[in-house]
Structure 1
């Protein structure tokens, strides 16, 4: 007689299911009950542990990025509000003892550097997090890192000008070579700085032309607005003029002009008479200098020049002779 089939014992594994599925309360049993998949059930422990680790890495990266960005923002806000400078005792002071307000130039420099630091921190955190996630999935990182190094070298050679512009822009910002509102000369272009970026500096020339200068191409910078400026006034005289008397008249007129309301607030020191600066066939040139606030040298120079010219004309001081040129033809009068 054929023996009767024995009934399956309670809790025993069914022949077509993985052995671990019979372990009540295990991840294998839960995955098999939900998906009815042998592969997912056998890999249940790995899937759960990997998912937990990946989630933990992502959370840590997000929290680290948030905390670092918050710290950078607090530092930038402190720099723009002069809070850090007051704590360090480095805030500049006026003669009266009050602290100088933070300039827009310093605020822009702080915000630009803060933006760069935030970008760098984000790239570093995301790169480290991606590498750790790939390691959790068992991906071989050595070939990837080697390939990334080769690609980085190739990109570095192709974008070396771009890298140079960025590095030059960083150093210009850190060293405070110039800022928005400064009048600078960078060789091929000169004018008022309208924007300072990590790659491009924007200048507006006197005639309104906007120049976009790559930071990596700037070899030298002449800043006419850093700290203070000097207005240079050249006074042309004829050879027959009484130079001492004309010098005294020019100094007196310049002193009176800068004491007026429209110039008194921008002039820092009384005019200095340097004396005869040039002697030529057309006449003699006197030179005066006036120390003024940054960017105000041209307006002061024009105003004092006009005042001295009127004073010399009223005093009948001889003016330089007109030197004829090859194309000069006197009038028939």
Structure 2
């Protein structure tokens, strides 16, 4: 309605402009003709004025000659000739004066007419400028009314297509929620593992990855549907996207590699959310996994975003189960068999407690003497635990072993050095000084 009114208003203004323009062109033509006539009149006036000047000079000359003649018979005929010529010249001069007066009046008339035409033309020019501004204003108003953000178009769009867009968006969101729920239920029923915690972690990992993929797919589909409702040809966009995808395919090989590696990691269950990993020299807990990246959170709280294409070797410290590796050093004077029995006894008692019975999944394993270090005999033992529980079990077991060793008087040595002298009756001052500076317990002489 508003669009038709604007078109009608523009038509009326344009008609007025065209009519005024025709009048302006007519006045301009008359102005040019009058200027031509004025130029001719001024040229005739100048020519007549020159002739009148010449005739006036000739009359003066003839009058002077008549005055110089005497009354002799020989000059009588010449006098009559000069008088006739003088009279003819005076009559012609009178005719020219009359013509000059007429030309002067014509020039004045033409000048006055040109001034009036110039005034009319200036007024019409101002009027045409005003009409042109009105036309421009009406065109801008019409363009605004034709734009999508115009109130009439917005109202029409909301009335005609608004409900369909809202229903489509609601339907799409419901499908997205239903798809996420179905994926979670399918993963819950299909993934079968012995440990419920491990099963929950794997379900959560796959659910995160698939959910992110579903979000991308539904977002693209919703955007395309919305663009089609706005009247944008999707086929053109799809064709351009196909060409663009081919163009960037050669430059996106690393991105494709990331997604393919991520798919293999998830399908092979190499790790999942909550596992502790070591990837490319970076250790941390898996905070999130997508098809392209893995996020590790280290002990300092830093988040490391690692593309899957950059992963070559993954060390999963909590895959299915974990293990505590005990390397306990005792003094050389201690009985290693007794110490190994104490270690096994302490570990078994700890496993029998209700708090740690669920954390320790198997009996402790004693490997025996592992190394003769500089100041200690190293005994190695292993304790199998649930995933992520090895550090908790290790800290508690070391605390108990320290207290048990203190009760039994088993020495946990610290680094020291023993110096032996060949001559028992002579003590070298340099050796004594060496004992004071390097030995933590002083020197021991055999």
Asked if Structure 1 and Structure 2 have the same fold, meaning a TM-score greater than 0.5 normalized by the shorter chain, the answer is yes
- Is the Cα contact below 8 Å between 2:259 and 2:291 reproduced in 1? yes
- Is the Cα contact below 8 Å between 1:79 and 1:107 reproduced in 2? no
- Is the Cα contact below 8 Å between 2:326 and 2:380 reproduced in 1? yes
Is 1:91 the equivalent of 2:188? Answer: no
* CA separation of 1:284 and 1:93: change in aligned 2, threshold 3 A: closer
Could you say which residue in structure 1 is the equivalent of 2:206? 109
- Is the Cα contact below 8 Å between 2:184 and 2:203 reproduced in 1? no
Could you say which residue in structure 2 is the equivalent of 1:179? 272
Higher helix share: 2
Could you say which residue in structure 1 is the equivalent of 2:250? 157
Is 1:77 the equivalent of 2:77? Answer: no
Residue 292 of structure 1, CA deviation: 0.8
C-alpha distance in structure 2 between counterparts of 1:171 and 1:237, whole Å: 47
Residue 149 of structure 1, CA deviation: 5.4
* CA separation of 1:244 and 1:330: change in aligned 2, threshold 3 A: closer
Task: State the secondary structure of the residue aligned to 2:327.
Answer: strand
C-alpha distance in structure 1 between counterparts of 2:396 and 2:441, whole Å: 36
C-alpha distance in structure 2 between counterparts of 1:113 and 1:140, whole Å: 28
> Which 4+ runs in 1 deviate beyond 6 A?
64-68, 124-127
Residue 161 of structure 1, CA deviation: 2.5
Q: Which runs of 5+ in 2 are unaligned?
A: 1-167, 228-232, 418-433
Is 1:222 the equivalent of 2:315? Answer: yes
Residue 262 of structure 1, CA deviation: 3.2
Residue 225 of structure 1, CA deviation: 1.2
Aligned counterparts, 1:7-156, within 5 A: 72-73=179-180, 75-80=182-187, 82=188, 84-85=189-190, 91-92=192-193, 102-117=199-214, 119-120=216-217, 151-156=244-249
Taking structure 1 as the reference length, the TM-score comes to: 0.63
* CA separation of 1:286 and 1:332: change in aligned 2, threshold 3 A: closer
* CA separation of 1:207 and 1:140: change in aligned 2, threshold 3 A: closer
Structure possessing the higher radius of gyration over alpha carbons:
2
Count residues with an aligned counterpart. Answer: 259
Taking structure 2 as the reference length, the TM-score comes to: 0.48
C-alpha distance in structure 2 between counterparts of 1:290 and 1:216, whole Å: 35
Q: Deviations over 1:205-224 (max 9, x none)?
A: 12333222222211111111
* CA separation of 1:211 and 1:241: change in aligned 2, threshold 3 A: same
Task: State the secondary structure of the residue aligned to 1:194.
Answer: strand
Residue 251 of structure 1, CA deviation: 0.8
* CA separation of 1:225 and 1:332: change in aligned 2, threshold 3 A: closer
